[in-house]
């Protein structure tokens, strides 16, 4: 059941420049992790994602937009992309 | 220890945490941190006694010691850790970040470990005295 997710994580992790990948569900629990990403980051990635999604008018739930969030450190960057059911964080 | 227990929990009240309790297996409160809108019904000892029974059964699954049980209800979610002879209970909103509560429970476990170890040491001393009689 999780073969497709596992293969997708492997594909992303093997891309040039990618140091790690983390997939998190809406409850802040880790669904999959590769590279130097840690499962212990999962609740914080979910929290960042849900906070960003909430910064918009929610008149019609079918028109919710999912923004891309970038967290920049001195020597690395984390790109967080929430979706309807899960959030993907790529460590570059 | 009560002030540090409360100050660790306080930042999480805005993110859906309702209460954090350190109790014995019968639900008698040792340490408590609660949000301002927390309902008193959440401090029913039944929450802890039910966990104690479930934890005892889980320990028999052949997977060594059960560490924690996460229970998802319609109204709330419970994260309960076995810190024998004590129990750590976190109560939060049903749709809040479960991973965050698991992280917080580990933080609080680190804080309360000295107290738990002191109580375990006290229990061993009493048992030694009884055996010695």
pLDDT in tens, B99-123: 999 999 999 999 999 888 888 776 5
* Measured distance CA(B41)–CA(B66) in Å, rounded: 27
Domain of A11, CATH number, reads 3.30.450.30
Contact A24 B100 (CB under 8 A): no
**Which residues in chain B have Cβ-Cβ distances shorter than 8 Å to A50?**
97
Per the listing, tokens 């220890």 go with: B1
pLDDT at B130 over 90: no
For B51, the 3-state DSSP assignment is: helix
Domain residues for A26? 3-91
- Angle at Cα B101 formed by Cα A7 and Cα A86, nearest 5°? 30
pLDDT at B127 over 70: no
Determine the pLDDT at residue A2.
Answer: 85
Do B88 and B115 meet the contact criterion of CB atoms below 8 Å apart? no
Residues in A whose CB is inside 8 Å of some CB of B read 24, 27-30, 40, 42-44, 46-47, 50
> Could you give the domains of chain B?
2-132 (3.30.450.30)
Q: What is the mean pLDDT of residues A60-87?
A: 90
Q: Is the peptide bond before B48 cis (omega within 30 degrees of 0)?
A: no
Count how many domains chain A has.
Answer: 1
Token pair of A86 as six digits? 């899960």
pLDDT at B129 over 80: no
Contact B99 A24 (CB under 8 A): yes
Q: State the complex-level ipTM.
A: 0.85
Determine the pLDDT at residue B122.
Answer: 66
């Amino acid at each position: 059941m999780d073969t497709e997710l596992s293969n997708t994580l492997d594909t992303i992790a093997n891309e040039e420049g990618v140091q790690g990948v983390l997939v998190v569900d809406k409850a802040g629990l880790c669904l999959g992790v590769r590279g130097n990403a840690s499962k212990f980051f999962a609740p914080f990635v979910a929290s960042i994602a849900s906070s960003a999604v909430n910064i918009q008018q929610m008149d019609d739930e079918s028109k919710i937009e999912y923004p891309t969030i970038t967290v920049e450190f001195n020597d690395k960057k984390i790109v967080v992309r929430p979706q309807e059911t899960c959030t993907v964080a790529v460590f570059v | 220890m009560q002030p540090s227990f409360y100050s660790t929990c306080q930042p999480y009240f805005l993110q859906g945490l309702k209460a954090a309790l350190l109790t014995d297996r019968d639900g008698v409160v040792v340490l408590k941190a609660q949000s301002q809108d927390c309902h008193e019904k959440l401090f029913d000892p039944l929450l802890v006694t039910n966990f104690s029974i479930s934890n005892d059964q889980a320990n028999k699954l052949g997977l060594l010691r059960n560490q924690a049980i996460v229970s998802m209800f319609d109204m709330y979610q419970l994260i309960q850790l076995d810190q024998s002879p004590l129990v750590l209970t976190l109560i939060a909103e049903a749709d809040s970040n479960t991973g965050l509560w698991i992280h917080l429970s580990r933080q609080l476990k680190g804080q309360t470990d000295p107290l738990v170890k002191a109580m375990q040491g006290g229990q061993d001393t009493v048992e030694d005295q009884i055996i010695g009689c």
